[in-house]
Amino acid sequence: MSGFSRDMMGVGFGAAQAVAINGGQPLLGQTATGNSQGTAFAITAAVIEFTTVAASTGAILPYNTQTGLGMRGDAIFVVNNGANSLNVYPPVGFSIGTTAVNGAVAVSAGSAIVFKSKGDGNYWFQGGGSGGGGSGTVTSVGVSSTDLSVSGSPVTTAGNITLNLAAMPATTIKANVTGGSAAPTNATGTQVTAILDTFTSGAKGLAPASGGGTTNYLRADGTWAAPAGGGGGNVSNTGTPTSGQAAEWTNATTIQGVAVTGTGSYVKGTAPTITLANGTGLPISTGVSGLGTGVATFLATPSSANLAAAVTGETGSGALVFGTSPTVSGATLTGITTVSGATLNTPVTTTITANAGVINAAIPLATASNNANTTLTETGSPSAGQFYAQWCVNTDSSARVWTIPSSYSIGRQTTITTFTLPANSRVLLSFYWDGSTRYVQGDTIPIRDIGIPFLFPTGADDTQVVLPFSAAAGSLVKCRTVCDSGTATYQVRINGVAVTATSNSVSSTPQSQTITAANTVAIDDVITIVRTANSSCVNGRGTIYMTPATP
């Protein structure tokens, strides 16, 4: 209850009458609304508190013809305890103080303003700061300064006062050089240097006075002194510097009888940096230290043998090999995952003489070429579980008979140990070693069958791998597959026509699919392995077999 209400009750008015006379009960915890004069919250009490104030929201003051409030002299106390500024509007068509008609007065967050009615719909106001404020009218504001230039002063109604630093004499600095508390003045350079410290070994500052002369130099401790050994400056073009002297020979052609060439910096005795652009006559074998064993010999005579002697950790022997068309003899390759630029039919070539041939079990894929009947023998030792393959190429213009070693198990076809290659044709045989017995892959297939290994397609479903059976005719008989992990399905097609179902399986357990329907292959036909589904197949591979028309 306000002090005025208590005073009213003290002269005989009841509490309700006193409150009503004092403007009625305050409205507390109100929410500001709208973002214009027409949508703002309508104030209906002499004391009102807003605790929820969204951005741009407001309230509108009452007019006495509407609410009984707003009569001449009535005070409306508006408190903003919200988070944003509160816009307070006059009644429509009127103004608050000197603001424009219908213009709002902002009550900042955490502050209050008292609006006093003129009785005609217009209002005065006072306060508005977070701590309240006084009231009154400022009629004139003026500014003067000795160190600032002032323009626009005084302001009697509205305007701007502009302050700028006053002009200073040339080469002066604003400073207090009196040694006591005083206003700054325009100090000269001499006055400024007099109050600045000189530098020391531990602090920045001005250089101390040198005292004149030509022999002293400024030291790091802030003192001037002659270099150790006495004297200073440059020795003559033919002189010898003494201990502690810095020597410089200007445009000299000889120093102590030694010819001077080139340009650059002075060289000191400990770890100098030298750019030797045109040095000659340095013997590599005796003039350079720190070289590894054999390096100096290689630099003097860069041969393959000297390089091999200079390097360590090498394998093999012979001449240095470069990347384009090298000749490599008897190489053993291990851990190969990718061969760039190689062709499938000639990764390794073995030249065969008449009636002789080699199956190289030590490498994944080899080639034997011959123009005569050929008996294959084996070289190398495969690892248990290893697959390996052999291209057999007939370079003769007539068909030739090739014979498989009798040490290979071929199941029930023990009487068949040969196959015939047509003129100028080739076939890819694939083999398997289980640790005790060598097999032609697919051991129940006659030895005359031609097998081509393939990698399972790795793209999206319906991708395919094309197998080259163009050199021979016959019938597809079987397809064997396996992968490291996961599963997939595939279909075999001849010239795009399916000869198996789409559900042939690939898994980590070797699978075999017999091909019987429409399996005839003519010369130049295209055989494809088409992936139909791939759940999680990893490193899928296999071999497809064809029985030639003329074994």
Model confidence pLDDT, tens digit, residues 195-215: 888 888 888 888 888 888 887
Q: How far apart are the first and last CA of the chain?
A: 121
Lowest mean pLDDT among 131-145, 385-399, 466-480: 131-145
pLDDT at 356 over 60: no
- C-alpha–C-alpha distance, residues 2 and 337, integer Å: 94
pLDDT at 337: 43
Instruction: Give the number of other CB atoms < 10 A from CB of residue 374.
Output: 25
Confidence of residue 232 (pLDDT cuts 50, 70, 90): very low
pLDDT at 456: 80
pLDDT at 73: 76
Lowest mean pLDDT among 154-168, 238-252, 263-277, 387-401: 238-252
Model confidence pLDDT, tens digit, residues 304-326: 888 888 888 787 777 788 777 77
The topology (CATH level 3) of 450-548 is Jelly Rolls (2.60.120)
Confidence of residue 237 (pLDDT cuts 50, 70, 90): low
pLDDT at 361: 62
∠ CA(514), CA(516), CA(518), 5° rounding?
135
Model confidence pLDDT, tens digit, residues 415-456: 456 777 788 777 777 777 777 777 665 433 334 567 778 888
Taking Cα atoms as reference points, which of 480, 424, 423 lies closest to residue 449? 480
- C-alpha–C-alpha distance, residues 427 and 548, integer Å: 10
Taking Cα atoms as reference points, which of 410, 412, 414, 446 lies closest to residue 431? 410
For the segment 263-274, the average pLDDT, to the nearest whole number, is 63
pLDDT at 156: 64
Distance of CA 223 to the CA centre of its chain: 53
- C-alpha–C-alpha distance, residues 519 and 347, integer Å: 30
For the segment 321-332, the average pLDDT, to the nearest whole number, is 71
Residues 6+ apart with CB under 8 A from 538: 483, 484, 485, 486
- C-alpha–C-alpha distance, residues 470 and 525, integer Å: 6
Q: Where are the alpha helices (DSSP H) in 122-240?
A: 189-195
pLDDT at 14 over 90: no
The topology (CATH level 3) of 3-127 is Jelly Rolls (2.60.120)
pLDDT at 242 over 70: no
- C-alpha–C-alpha distance, residues 97 and 123, integer Å: 6
Taking Cα atoms as reference points, which of 86, 84, 96 lies closest to residue 58? 86
- C-alpha–C-alpha distance, residues 269 and 379, integer Å: 66
- C-alpha–C-alpha distance, residues 494 and 522, integer Å: 10
- C-alpha–C-alpha distance, residues 81 and 161, integer Å: 34
- C-alpha–C-alpha distance, residues 87 and 113, integer Å: 11
User: Which of 162-166, 240-244, 500-504 is modeled with the greatest confidence?
Assistant: 500-504
Residue 423 is classified by DSSP as T
pLDDT at 31: 95
Confidence of residue 139 (pLDDT cuts 50, 70, 90): low
Residue 457 is classified by DSSP as P
pLDDT at 350: 41
Percent of the chain at pLDDT exceeding 70: 66
Residue 33 is classified by DSSP as B
- Residue 36's H or E segment, with its range, is none
Confidence of residue 79 (pLDDT cuts 50, 70, 90): very high
Model confidence pLDDT, tens digit, residues 84-107: 999 999 999 999 988 899 999 999
Distance of CA 443 to the CA centre of its chain: 55
pLDDT at 9 over 80: no
Beta strand pairing status for 254-255 and 349-351? Answer: unpaired
* Token pair 């290979």: residue: 408
Residue 185 is classified by DSSP as E
| Positive or negative torsion for Cα 402, 403, 404, 410 | positive
Q: What SS3 class is residue 324?
A: coil
Taking Cα atoms as reference points, which of 399, 414, 408 lies closest to residue 436? 408
| Positive or negative torsion for Cα 62, 63, 67, 68 | positive
∠ CA(338), CA(343), CA(348), 5° rounding?
85
- C-alpha–C-alpha distance, residues 306 and 311, integer Å: 9
Name which residue leads in pLDDT, 483 or 139: 483
Instruction: Tell me what the pLDDT averaged over the chain comes to.
Output: 74
What φ, ψ does residue 6 adopt, rounded to 5°?
Answer: -65, -35
Confidence of residue 545 (pLDDT cuts 50, 70, 90): confident
pLDDT at 331: 63
User: Which of 209-223, 279-293, 409-423 is modeled with the greatest confidence?
Assistant: 209-223
pLDDT at 405 over 50: yes
* Token pair 């005065």: residue: 124
Confidence of residue 343 (pLDDT cuts 50, 70, 90): very low
- C-alpha–C-alpha distance, residues 37 and 104, integer Å: 8
- C-alpha–C-alpha distance, residues 159 and 148, integer Å: 19
- C-alpha–C-alpha distance, residues 417 and 481, integer Å: 25
For the segment 284-295, the average pLDDT, to the nearest whole number, is 79
- The predicted model scores a pTM of 0.26
- C-alpha–C-alpha distance, residues 208 and 494, integer Å: 100
Amino acid at 283: P
Confidence of residue 55 (pLDDT cuts 50, 70, 90): very high
Q: What SS3 class is residue 17?
A: helix
Contact 77/47 with Cβ under 8 angstroms?
Answer: yes
- C-alpha–C-alpha distance, residues 215 and 233, integer Å: 7
